[in-house]
Amino acid sequence: MRNPYQTTPRLILFARGFRPHLRLFIIDLAAALGISLIDLSFPLLTRYGLNSLLPNGHYQRFAWLMIMIAAFFAIRGLLQYVVTYWGHLLGVRMEADLRRNLFTHLQTMPFSFYDRTRTGKLMSRVLSDLFEIVELAHHGPEDLFISAITLTGSFIAMLMIRWQLTLMLLVMIPVIVMLTVVARRRMAYASSHVKERTAQINADLENAISGIRVAKAFTNEAHEIEKFDRRNAEFREARGGFYRAMAWFSSGMDYSTSLLQILVIGVGGYYVVQGGMTVTDMLTFSLYVNTFLVPIRKLVAFFEQYSNGMAGFERYVELMAMDPDIVDAPDAKPLELEGGAIRFEDVSFSYQEGELVLGQVNLDIRPGQKVALVGPSGGGKTTLCQLIPRFYEIDSGRITIDGQEIDHLTLGSLRRAIGIVQQEVFLFAASIRENIRYGDLTASDEAVVEAAKQAEIHDFIMGLPDGYDTEVGERGARLSGGQKQRVAIARLFLKNPAILILDEATSALDTETELRIQTALDKLAHGRTSLVIAHRLSTVRNADQIIYIDADGIREQGSHQELMERGGPYSRLYLAQSGPGIRFDGSLAVNGS
């Protein structure tokens, strides 16, 4: 099925947003119609009273006419309430729909999308862009509808009063239209420029706040302020350019509409002197000129909203038109687990074309095996593990689980079968209980507590003032690195997956806690296929199979004893780590301190 955002014209996509709220939209337009009709009737009723009632002494009927006009304006006030409240409610509901559509779409995008897209820019599209879109969706049709009714009604009424004067006013219309078209183009370009700068400053702000601890650690606050000032200046210039275009537009429209008034007073006065118009007709015509100018001013506001809203909508469509490159195949079936055997057959992968990360990898992992992946940083260990749940799509080859090719499995069943503790633990800004329960959203409180006990963090949690309801802060900032990892491990215990991927799962723990966690992980891994990425080789000596990976691919594999007897890169790495006075950073052995 083709993505409609790639093929459907923008205005049709925009109009479809009204479909779920059509009843509310019609109510809004009906109220706007009522307001327009009352505004149009006021000059005519005034003219009738001044021309027909007062000169003939019908004072009582004139009084009733004034009461009727007052009643009309009371009704107008109620209709204005409907337009203001229900109209904005329509906008809020449409905004919520658009935001949900966009958020849902973002949930389908693969890791590669987030690798190349900054969070601040996405936030700008989800928040500020959508607000501009909905302002256009609410006010745009309403203003256009009111303007069309008012302009048509005013024009007909003025023709009835003095058609020659009305036709003279039409001379100004082409000037106004030409001014509007030219200014609209300038404003659209300027508005798009402002959107880009807003997204950029949001992205920089998000990045700076996330990295504030690093900035302080290196005393680089002044550098961050300087970077922000540059972006802020670019935003200021872009916004200034937009307001410059808007000022030319607004001042030109004000001048044009003022000329209309001058034309009416000058030519209308001539007709009064010549006896072709009464003073009352002149007054009524002037009222209709004012009524005629109101929709023109609304159109001025509309074109500003249109420039802002369609610039935002263009960015919204651009994002929605992106198809996720990792989706369920048409013939995808749920994973049928038999033991968790994993097989790589000639698998190659690159993040960017021409930059091969894994080449022609062949690997057999038997059901229930504990496999350790070791080697220098950047060798592809984490990448290899991320290919199993299809976080990234392989370039060539195939990966199977129990003989089933993962490309033909449903993503949901595949990822439910795999539990991951990543090297960089992410916790949501919520309670400890909610973060652990993320492993199984249907789990009971008792199951959460049991998972925490297995992860050796229950006692710590109970020592906190709010226990399991303690908020962990932004990205778990209120917890230490080891505590965050134990919460993540508890989350894994709760998920209880068939296949485990542990990416440096105990790297932030002290030795005593690491031993306790390792025992718990060994218990969890019993009977399950497990892949463990480790730099500290002492933690994986008991693995069924150890695979050494570096930039040249899989260099060797076997048990700890087999690899030590071979005297290859694993053996040298192990001896470097365990030798006295020697440190190893995962990529280079260095003697001395």
**Does domain 335-415+541-593 fall into CATH 3.40.50.2300?**
no
CB-based burial label for 264 (10 Å; 0-12, 13-18, 19+): buried
Neighbours of 231 (CB within 10 A): 17
> Per-residue confidence at 181, pLDDT binned at 50, 70, 90?
low
Q: pLDDT tens across 78-116, in order?
A: 999 998 888 888 888 888 888 888 888 888 887 788 777
Q: Which residues contact 188 (CB under 8 A, 6 or more apart)?
A: 306, 307, 310, 311
> Per-residue confidence at 184, pLDDT binned at 50, 70, 90?
low
Question: What's the rounded Cα separation, in Å, for the pair 277 and 279?
Answer: 7
Question: What's the rounded Cα separation, in Å, for the pair 59 and 315?
Answer: 62
**Does domain 11-320 fall into CATH 1.10.3260.10?**
no
Classified as helix, coil or strand, 541 is coil
| Backbone torsion region of residue 527, taken as left when φ is above 0, otherwise alpha when ψ lies between -120 and 50, otherwise beta | left
pLDDT tops 80 at residue 507: no
Buried b (16+ CB within 10 A) or exposed e, 127-158: eebbbbbbbbbbbbbbbbbbbebbbebbbebb
Neighbours of 322 (CB within 10 A): 16
Q: pLDDT tens across 478-490, in order?
A: 888 778 888 888 8
Question: What's the rounded Cα separation, in Å, for the pair 540 and 428?
Answer: 30
Model-level pTM? Answer: 0.69
Task: Report CA-CA distances (Å) from 200 to 117, 120, 124, 286, 308.
Answer: 11, 7, 9, 49, 17
pLDDT tops 80 at residue 591: no
Look-up: residue for tokens 């709760």? Answer: 494
Question: What's the rounded Cα separation, in Å, for the pair 194 and 201?
Answer: 10
Q: pLDDT tens across 165-178, in order?
A: 888 777 776 776 67
Write down the number of H helices and E strands in the chain.
20, 12
Amino acid residing at 500:
L
pLDDT at 380: 86
In the chain, domain spans: 11-320, 335-415+541-593
Q: pLDDT tens across 532-553, in order?
A: 988 878 778 888 899 998 888 8
Classified as helix, coil or strand, 55 is coil
Q: Which residues contact 507 (CB under 8 A, 6 or more apart)?
A: 423, 485, 535, 536
Question: What's the rounded Cα separation, in Å, for the pair 507 and 484?
Answer: 11
pLDDT tops 60 at residue 434: yes
Q: Any alpha helices (H) in 353-424, and if so which ranges?
A: 381-387, 411-416
What is Dmax (Cα atoms) for the chain? Answer: 122
